[in-house]
Structure 1
Amino acid sequence: MSAYDSGALQTAPSTDSIADRTRRALEQYLTVTPDVGQARGAEGIALVTSQSGSEYIVDTLEGRCECRDAEYRDVVCKHIRRARFAMGLDAIPADAVAACDVDPDLGQHCDAELRVAAADGGIIIAGDDGEILDGDDEDVVDLSEEYDEAPLAGTCIAGHERCAGISGMFFGEFPCANCWLYAPDSAHATFHDVGGADE
């Protein structure tokens, strides 16, 4: 996650511009386990464990948490925010990714893919452990003559079903984080020229 670079950010925002609870939700070591204990089998419910070992049941759909911050201040606490980010329900703001030291274990115990809001308003599906296809793969599309680049994967390099891969960027289709990171400059430029993800 810390290696994420949207390619669209002009300047890195200061940590002060990020809501304090959002910053803590992203930076602090909080484990979200949606299928453990009381949360097992309950839709939208997760157990959030802090670094100190405190445990809170969070209802991500109703926006409720057992912590004192949520109960007595009537706010969306860091536990709710962390659970919603980790479970793929909310996109992580692009400015927060740039300004915060995001916990690398964010979403580790959740089945959902993390989502990152791009600076241009789009959403990037932030996959993990992406592997670049080699030139011998049958899914590789050679766009070198048209775009003066090496052959590019015609499908997602990380195998995500909803991602059109690097070559999809040439047609304005928004890629996953892995494809975005490994795409050549010409793919990024063409993506922005065609108005990708403007819908």
Structure 2
Amino acid sequence: MKTTASPKAPLPVPSSDHLAERSRRARTEPMSVLPLGDGLYEIESASDHTYLVDLEGGRCTCPDHVFREARCKHIRRVAIEITEGRTPPPGEVAVDCHDCGETIFVDEDESAPFYCETHAIYPGDAVVDRETGDRLTVVDVSELRADAVEIGAVDTTVAEYETNEGYAGDVPVVGAVYPHARVARNGVVPSSLRVYVFPRTRLERAARS
């Protein structure tokens, strides 16, 4: 089949009505938005065409943007999805909470495991040991990995400790104490405040009473 090029003529500048129409179509037309990282998003349109949006650069590979330099419906759709919390903004990615599977947004360079706000733990929080069911109180959430922190008394890492073998070694270490620690008249009883260390994934946040 023989094809010919279209004549080299300027395209009309979109009117305000066209701009309003783009906004309406951005919201109402079926589109899928896939975040790729680095501020890039892949858009599959209702016509089954796939375009790439660079949100931070304000660019899209669709003809409406390439040839008319318009803020096309695809760029607008990405902005809508981000504003309404369905798509992560530039610099973040969508991941699943380790404990409940809820989709959350985290920094692109953040390491697993990931937790939603309901299941995240902080110093002072009560947690439950998944292996024993014991209740403990968190004193520290370290950035050090379980396969890099040694338990001096047994000359092994937290990850290699026999009761931790079922948990990943590339997760943070959490320090916790049993809540039956007591303070005597002459000061803290050292044995009651012994800090135990666990792979983060072995602990779950205790239900609040």
Structure with bigger helix share is: 1
TM-score, normalisation: structure 1 = 0.31
Higher relative contact order (CA 8 A, sep 6+): 1
TM-score, normalisation: structure 2 = 0.30
Structure with bigger strand share is: 2
